[in-house]
Structure 1
């Protein structure tokens, strides 16, 4: 289990991370979100001992990480780094051997990993001859092939199309199912919402959200209402507490000041009986992200 306890890091007068606390258990995925410059990459670099925190501690299974522990970590940096003139197979073998694997064992596993990520290219190709997306897949394979117990992925979905993003999601979930503790950053809230067991949001270095995706969403109340009924846009705007009305074909999306407003709308909409749609939900993670970021500028 990874434990980050009261972690703080400053650069001169700037505080990059302030009193950060979270845990990531084996078989768990944690999403780390926030604007550019919020402290996500700084957090990763402190976990990896690239940066020394000013205060706080980082523990793996209750103890400080040692040099040997780093062999069980898989790290994908935001700044991708492959050797363009090296063959794909040699590239993967090189990184895996740095993590203690034997070359023969690595070569035996390359084809299954190619199939898992649907790499378009041959293991004998030079990295520079692959497309950018396939180069990214090769780096992912080099990060994951030694089946790390702790996986740190900095913006892994960046630049991937929806099909390849789905393949990466499957790969991350496979590692989770094999007991890895996984922490990753992303600006794609749909991906975060889809695969994260819990999340932490940083804003200018401070934690502003920490919990399961469902608990965080529910804490904002069921203030989104999707409805199809005889009521018109003008009718909805007459309700006290309806902040916004957006039409989608025959349906409406309402933003409510308080979820209790939904009860009154439901009673009015169903006076004549059945209505085709009434779904009251908490805001999406993307909407919550925008709310929390917007508080800085309010």
Structure 2
């Protein structure tokens, strides 16, 4: 069962359509990537889910029922445009936001102390926010977002400004939150992050949902029947003429101890006879499909290079 369902949501601002009949389902206990170029409509959709604004048409369901005002207490949102009150002390401000989310001061203090220790920032409790580095401030905001243990977490470009070590720390925490039962919406332009942590994605482009599904299934769906062959022997054995009934040779790279070739199959049925021919002509050591990365799929989708039938 999905935790969040968006049905045919449309939102217009004057002459601009920010969202045009967008639908999606976010499975419970998953990391769901919300992708798209700048201006595609991602932030507008996030604002609707958070009840910051309302759709012109369409509906949003949370936990099996229409999204209600009190549901904001079960949502944690870390926006891309972040801000803390610079003159307040770090611990004081974190407590203030935690209590806004319904935690008692005692419970909030206990949870905050534990998170500050985990992130190695306990000594900053009584320092002013204006003394924090950008990365340190983002850690504080991450903690504030997850502290009340919401059912749904929404992170908008959470790794922006982080060095690789701290980005990896946050990635692991997001996965741990998912494993503990939270559902996560992850909005990003970083396709490597999508492949590392997202279970499902929706790609929004020009205000419309152009692609949705499980990450692994989408990568397989948009493969182009390209295979990598690792072999020993004479590369000339892979002549285009002999292989033509089964594939076209995209390139051969000589190496030691094995050469590598990439080929595109003429059909899925060509796998068995091709492997048979390769075993006859070469010392075959590897035969594997080249699965496209999400970055390639993103670019092809935004440029309109994916077949319409694949979107359905």
Q: TM-score, normalised by structure 2?
A: 0.84
CA shift digits 1:189-223 (9 cap, x unpaired): 12212222211111111111111111111212363
- Paired residues in the alignment total 298
Mapped to 2, the partners of 1:18 and 1:59 lie a distance apart of 18
Q: Deviations over 1:97-140 (max 9, x none)?
A: 11011122111122321243344852222222222112111110
- Give yes or no for contact 1:19–1:56 (8 Å, CA) kept in 2: yes
Show the 5 A alignment for 1:31-46. 31-46=33-48
The answer (yes or no) to whether the contact 2:60–2:66 under 8 Å persists in 1 is yes
Change in Cα spacing, 1:146 to 1:257, as seen in structure 2 (3 Å) is: same
Q: Which moved more, 1:271-280 or 1:125-134?
A: 271-280
Alignment of 1:87-126 (within 5 A): 87-119=89-121, 122-126=124-128
Which one of 9, 14, 36 corresponds to residue 7 of structure 1? 9
1:245 aligns with 2:251: yes
Q: Name the SS for the 2:204 alignment partner.
A: strand
Residue 62 of structure 1: CA displacement? 2.7
SS of equivalent to 2:33? strand
Is contact 2:80–2:157 with CA below 8 Å preserved after alignment? yes
2:292 to 273, 283, 291: 283
Query: Partner of 2:124: helix, strand, or coil?
Result: coil
Aligned residue for 1:148?
Answer: 150
| Structure 1 residue 180: Cα displacement | 1.8
Indicate if the aligned counterparts of 1:224 and 1:253 stay in contact, CA closer than 8 A. no
- Distance in 2, matches of 1:43 and 1:92, equals 27
| Rounded Cα–Cα distance in structure 2 between residues aligned with 1:152 and 1:124 | 28
**Partner residue, 1:63:** 65
**Do the aligned partners of residues 42 and 237 (structure 1) sit closer, same or farther apart at CA in structure 2, a change above 3 Å counting?**
farther
Unaligned runs of 5+ in 2: 307-312
Three-state SS of the structure 1 residue aligned to 2:280 is coil
| Structure showing greater Rg | 2
Decide whether the 8 Å contact of 1:155 with 1:185 is kept in 2: yes
Q: Matches of 2:207 and 2:135 in 1, distance apart?
A: 31
Q: 1:129 to 1:27 in 2, by over 3 A?
A: same
Deviates more, 1:255-264 or 1:56-65: 255-264
TM-score, length basis structure 1: 0.88
